[in-house]
Amino acid sequence: MLLIEKRNQMEYKIESSKNKLNIFIKSHEVERETLLSNFALCQKGQCSCPTDEYKKLQSLNISSLDDELILNLESKPYQAFDLNEIKKCLDFTSSNLKKDKYE
């Protein structure tokens, strides 16, 4: 399944299969550091998103290529990510980017 969204000025694409998600996020260099910091918290299980999807997370690998961040998520055995909840997380992160930009 492929889902492309542009919400709160952050454009992303989600590819899903079985227990894995690949999320491709277009980002500017200025935003990239903030995004990396936010997603690093998710890796540690210290996510501040308004959802419990991080509890399903087996692994999260983060990489960067040109103007894109790539998140590779794998769920725990017998768990499945809810795409609507993942979108909530991404929207929450995007709205925090806007706040940081104007503070």
Domains, the chain, with CATH or none: 2-102 (3.30.1360)
Strands in 57-65's sheet, in edge-to-edge order, are 2-7, 10-17, 20-26, 68-75, 57-65
**Other beta carbons within 10 Å of 28:** 9
Task: Check residue 103 and give its pLDDT.
Answer: 43
Number of other CB atoms surrounding residue 103 within 10 Å = 5
Q: CA–CA separation, 40 vs 93, rounded Å?
A: 12
Residues of the chain with pLDDT under 70: 1-9, 98-103
pTM: 0.82
Q: Is 14 exposed, middle or buried (0-12, 13-18, 19+ CB in 10 A)?
A: buried
Quote the pLDDT of residue 4.
Answer: 52
